[in-house]
Amino acid sequence: MARQEISDQPYLMRLADGRRLAVEVPARWVRYDRSGDVGFTIDGVRFLDRLRALFSPMKTPPSPGFIRSLRQALDLTQTEFGKSMGVDKLTVSRWERGELRPGKRSLRALQRIRASAVRKGISLSA
């Protein structure tokens, strides 16, 4: 089988609330398997996870992966993310590892930060 040239890949993502989000995944994050089906590298999957964290309705409570993806999508360290929410970086780390769940106040802060990022139009570097 001849090698396929890898190019940017259009991807249609269905969000939990039924909306659809169309994106183009950069070629460096696209791979083809032996059958010719499209797959994504780890970085490509992380990119898609960040988009889901920004545009999907937030579950209560959000998963550790959702919190990490949201923080990374905003290009914030755990310290910066914690400051924006009024918690310590250790708390953010525990959320991301699943050792602790955000309380009601923190959930409201997460929703506020996510909504603000979507309104401003976050650029996810590809």
The 10s digit of each residue's pLDDT in 9-48 is: 999 998 878 889 899 999 999 998 889 898 999 999 988 9
- 77 or 74: which leads in pLDDT: 77
* Residue 93 clears pLDDT 60, i.e. is over it: yes
Phi–psi pair at 30, nearest 5 degrees: -110, 135
The second-level CATH assignment, the architecture, of 9-120 is Orthogonal Bundle (1.10)
CA–CA dist 70, 76 (Å, integer): 9
- 31 or 60: which leads in pLDDT: 31
Would you say 46 and 69 are in contact if contact means Cβ atoms under 8 Å apart? yes
Rounded to two decimals, what is the model's pTM? 0.71
pLDDT of residue 106: 93
